[in-house]
Structure 1
Amino acid sequence: MPDTKVDELLESLTDNIDSLIDAIKNGTRHQWIKDHFLAGYPTDIKDSSMILDLLKVFNTTQHLYECVNCGRIAVQIGQTNRYEFYKPESEDYKGILKGKKDTN
């Protein structure tokens, strides 16, 4: 998922979770399920399972891998099994997906 969409995605997800919590408190849980899921979605499901299903709906991530030997980055193309490869211009960036380097 492009980083420009992360805030939008998280805001939408938290809005959905907030509205679910409100529906539970107000006794309108069944109606909330009808409004947010397809017909046939179980109404006797645990709240935590429903939140997990919301998280799955919003799963629009792509995989990103780094070769530990050469530092090449493999970026998944959309939701396919194909990848585009990129090579760092400098050896300094080998291991970049491990996070920040310890400077101590």
Structure 2
Amino acid sequence: MSKIGCVCGNTIRDNTDSLPYKARILKDTAYGPFFDWLVSEVQSYVVAAEQGDTSGWLVSRGYSSDYIGLQLDHGNVLHDHLHTRLLGLERTAYECTVCGRLLVETAEDNRFETYAPASGRYDGILK
């Protein structure tokens, strides 16, 4: 997404990394299971790497021969695998820098619900 409109009329832009008014939200119900899965996946990958069978590990998780053919180093393989899972669990949130409203992504991608702060102003809570 490159921009979203706030109900106050401000346009919130998302066209670079490390925005001080943007956050990722991981629901509490997903937090524990995600980290349990993460530990299990990293451990199983380490075992596969020690046995020289990272290709088999990737195949067992649905990766294509094209991906395996890239012969990425262990760090990049784990990054791709873990990050893909995390992306499916998290939601995006923006804080309007004019009125302070939080715009939180719903379960339907690229749809947002708006929540207004009691102060009625931008407080930089996502910084």
Q: TM-score range by the shorter chain?
A: 0.7 to 0.9
Distance 1:30 1:87 in 2: 49
Say if 2:107 is the partner of 1:78.
Answer: yes
Gaps of 5+ in 1: 99-104
Mark the structure with the bigger radius of gyration.
1
1:89-104 alignment, distance < 5 Å: 89-91=118-120, 94-98=123-127
Q: Counterpart of 2:30 in structure 1: which amino acid?
A: K
- TM-score by length of structure 2 reads 0.65
**Comparing both chains, which one has the higher relative contact order based on Cα–Cα distances under 8 Å and sequence gaps of 6 or more?**
2
Aligned to 1:88, what secondary structure does the other structure show? Answer: coil
Give the structure with the higher percent helix.
Answer: 1
- TM-score by length of structure 1 reads 0.76
Aligned partner of 1:42 among 68, 73, 76: 68
Identity %: 29
* Greater shift in the superposed pair: 83-92 or 51-60: 83-92
Aligned to 1:27, what secondary structure does the other structure show? Answer: coil
CA contact (8 A) 1:66 1:72 kept: yes
What is the RMSD of the two structures over their aligned residues, measured on CA atoms?
2.2
Q: Which residue of 2 aligns with 1:17?
A: 42
In the alignment of these two chains, the number of paired residues is 98
Aligned to 2:36, what secondary structure does the other structure show? Answer: helix
Q: Which residue of 1 aligns with 2:3?
A: none
